[in-house]
């Protein structure tokens, strides 16, 4: 069975429990020649805000408190 290219264009996010595990995982991925990107805190916040916006788009009502809380992060 051959994998089509659009199936490969997916991502995973891994959150190691400590620096030792981070270095271990990144070394394995490097040896397997798997492209990696370390997310900055800003990247993570952007993803979180995007997910919150997406969830809000599916809802008719969004409270002022939830909007302000999302913006504070």
Q: Count CA atoms closer than 13 A to 1's CA, side-chain side.
A: 2
Is the residue at 8 inside a domain? Answer: no
Is the residue at 4 inside a domain? Answer: no
CA–CA separation, 42 and 73 (whole Å)? 10
State in Å, rounded, how far the first CA of the chain is from the last one: 44
Is the residue at 59 inside a domain? Answer: yes
Full domain range(s) for residue 60:
14-72
**Model confidence, pTM:** 0.54
Per-residue pLDDT of the chain (73 residues; tens, 9 = 90+): 455 555 667 888 899 999 999 999 999 999 999 999 999 999 989 988 888 888 877 767 777 788 788 887 6
pLDDT of 8: 64
Number of domains in the chain: 1
pLDDT of 7: 63
pLDDT of 13: 87
Is the residue at 61 inside a domain? Answer: yes
pLDDT of 31: 97
CA–CA separation, 14 and 30 (whole Å)? 15
């Amino acid at each position: 069975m051959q994998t089509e290219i659009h199936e490969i264009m997916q991502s995973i996010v891994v959150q190691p429990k400590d620096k030792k595990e981070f270095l271990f995982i990144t070394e394995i991925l490097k040896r397997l020649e798997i492209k990696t990107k370390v997310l900055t805190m800003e990247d993570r916040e952007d993803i979180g805000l995007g997910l919150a916006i997406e969830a809000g788009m599916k809802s008719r009502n969004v409270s002022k408190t939830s909007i302000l809380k999302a913006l504070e992060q």
